[in-house]
Structure formats: structure tokens, C-alpha cells
Amino acid sequence: MITAQLSTHHRYEGIAPGLAEAFAWLRSVKENPPKPGRYEIDGERVFAIVAAYTTAPRVEKILEGHYNYLDVQYLASGGPEAIYYTPSETAPVVEDYDPERDFIKYEPDSADSMIVLRRGDFAIFFPEDAHMPGAAFSEPAEVTKIVVKVKLPGAGA
């Protein structure tokens, strides 16, 4: 897991193919985030999901993971937002992996660490990072979040 300000994106672009495209797209929309929805950047290899919501108490959130994509989660406006996380290898599975959705659900109480995203921050979550986004930090807050999904080399169809 990596977290930083979007202004430092250049340090992380070479970590995985597609991250440069993800960060270029985020930089192009950072001043005027698009409406909620899905946006193709490079077909199924790199795409963005924009969502607007109110953060909620941790007990209302789920701990999730992915095998084929990494997430670049960018807080475009509002916040702050807490994201809890833990290594996926130590988190008990509560819902088996769904390859259609590239989604696995873990026991939420196993998330033992937290980061806080503020406007302009991003976090990169890899398959080894079980993560619980959308949690309230000190109180519920309105946010616009952009999640750019980047398909990892060698990932399944």
C-alpha cells in the first residue's frame, strides 16, 4: 500500500504498467472531477470509477480485495475519509473470490491499520492489501472519490 499527494505521482508511475496512464488521467480531471460513473482510460486495462457519497462508521463498511487489478483511490473533493487495511494473507475470508467482479470479501475486524485521505491524496492498494474504504474519520463527510483500476501484468481475463 502506498499513500501520497497526487503532486508526487511521478515517483510511483513505474511501479506497474498502466499507472502512468492512471495518474495522467487523474491529473487531467483533478480541477473538475467528472460526474459519478465509469470512464475508460485504456479499455479494460485501465479504467476509472467516480463516486460521490457520505463516509460512514467503520462498522458499516466491508473489507475487500482484488486479485487482478490494483486500485488507485484518489480523494477529489470533500473528506477526510478513513481507509482501514491489513495484509490480505492474514485476513480471514468471509466471501469467496468472485472472478467476474475481481472481488473478495474479508473479515472486517481484521483490518488493523488506517490511513486518512484528504483532498488531493491518493492511495494505491495491491492484491496483498485488503482495504476498507469509505469510512468516516472523525465524523461523516461528503466525498467525491475516483478509483482507477489498473490491470496487473499476468492477471486473468
- Residues 9-54 have pLDDT tens digits of 999 999 999 999 999 999 999 999 999 999 999 999 999 999 999 9
- Residues 113-143 have pLDDT tens digits of 999 999 999 999 999 999 999 999 999 999 9
- Residues 57-76 have pLDDT tens digits of 999 999 999 999 999 999 99
**Cell numbers placing 76:** 477529489
Cell match 472531477: residue? 33
pTM: 0.95
Residue 131's nearest CA partner among 63, 51, 57 is: 63
Assign a CATH topology to domain 2-151: Jelly Rolls (2.60.120)
| pLDDT value at residue 155 | 76
Rounded alpha-carbon distances, angstroms, from residue 43 to 40, 48, 67, 70, 148: 5, 10, 18, 15, 12
